[in-house]
Amino acid sequence: MMDIQKLLPFILRHENVAVIEHGILYITDRQSYPFEIRRVACSDASETADAIRRMVTQGGGPLEAALRAMVLTAMKKGKDRDAFDLAVRALAGARPTNTTMKRELEALLPDILMGFDQEDFVSYVDELVQSRLAHYDECYLAMARNGVRLVDDGDGILTTCFPEHSFFLTLALATEKGFSFRVFAPETRPFLQGARLTASGLAEMGYEHTLITDNMVSSFMSQGRIDKYMTASDLALRDRTVVNKIGTLGNAIAAKYYGIPYYPFAIGFDEGKKGISDIEIEYRDPGEVKMIRGVRTAPEGVSAEYPCFDIIPSSLVTGIVMPEGIVR
């Protein structure tokens, strides 16, 4: 398989997401990047779950950190069934809306338990995790190969928040085809992932891009500067409903109005959720809305609310880009 690491910006490469060194799991802090490259140290799965909950890593990062935490559990606790059960519960509940991590850990646990008869149990768990990471790399590349079919030379492409591996790989494949394009990246309040992660990643990889504020999207659409809307997704349902960062819904509505197709990337459907009523939307501390990187933007007494994600109905989704194809 193609080595995708060289096609990804720094923050998405395996060694810069989460690594275990000398019995400690280090997660690269996406809150401080790119102004400072620092790592958060986690000594066990519980501390890893806390780091994920605090958004030290986001998007696809929690999945990789959680998988590494299972290796750390094997190193620290050995063949302890209760320890693995606790690790899975702690990690799975850290970010409730995106269920990929929960489903992956619950599927991995029986395989880990089957290895209790292995002499080198830690190596066994590590090989399981490496295999799962390789599987996801294959899925990311497969989605990119489908995604690039949707890109035309000269496109203006809007995204939202940090669109993760498959989006950047799609851009890499489009570049290999000789296509030119420009990516419009909204800043993404309140943590500015679009400004700090997406825009910096686009600049690092040499892709034409424009950073805009969150409320500029419809204006750029009205000017005819955006041809495609492509995002990651935190959750996808079989009925073609998708969930993604707050702000995605408004952009999808505007895209529908201006006749712009919307294509989210999704690694698979959550078959356990039948409809919108089954989706749990995470609400974070409303105080985070009143701050930007530690600088207060509203007085203490101001009321705020912070739902993290939007539910985008299937009527606004042109097609979902998945490893097996584009589901329309």
Mean pLDDT of 214-225: 98
pLDDT in tens, 64-78: 999 999 999 999 999
Question: Cβ-count burial of 200 within 10 angstroms (0-12 exposed, 13-18 middle, 19+ buried)?
Answer: buried
- For residue 240, what is the DSSP state? S
Task: Note the pLDDT of residue 126.
Answer: 98
Question: Cβ-count burial of 77 within 10 angstroms (0-12 exposed, 13-18 middle, 19+ buried)?
Answer: middle
Place of tokens 């950047």: 168
pLDDT of 202 over the 80 cut? yes
Tell me the C-alpha distance between 263 and 159, whole Å. 10
Q: DSSP string covering 141-152, please?
A: HHHHHHHGGG--
Structure tokens at 154: 């000269």
Name the percent of the chain lying above pLDDT 90: 99
Mean pLDDT of 246-255: 98
Query: What is the overall mean pLDDT for the chain?
Result: 97
pLDDT in tens, 34-73: 999 999 999 999 999 999 999 999 999 999 999 999 999 9
Tell me the C-alpha distance between 3 and 66, whole Å. 23
Tell me the C-alpha distance between 132 and 147, whole Å. 22
What does DSSP say about strands 242-245 and 309-312: parallel, antiparallel, or unpaired? Answer: antiparallel
Q: Write out the catalytic residue numbers.
A: 234
Give the pTM: 0.97
Tell me the C-alpha distance between 39 and 16, whole Å. 9
Rg (alpha carbons) of the chain, rounded to whole number: 20
pLDDT band at 3 (very low <50, low <70, confident <90, very high): confident
Question: Cβ-count burial of 311 within 10 angstroms (0-12 exposed, 13-18 middle, 19+ buried)?
Answer: middle
4 Cβ neighbours under 8 A, 6+ residues apart: 137, 140, 141, 165, 169
Task: Note the pLDDT of residue 142.
Answer: 98
Task: Note the pLDDT of residue 35.
Answer: 97
164 Cβ neighbours under 8 A, 6+ residues apart: 12, 59, 60, 140, 232, 265
Place of tokens 């985008």: 312
Name the percent of the chain lying above pLDDT 70: 100
- 293 touches 232 (CB < 8 A): no
Mean pLDDT of 235-254: 98
pLDDT of 1 over the 80 cut? no
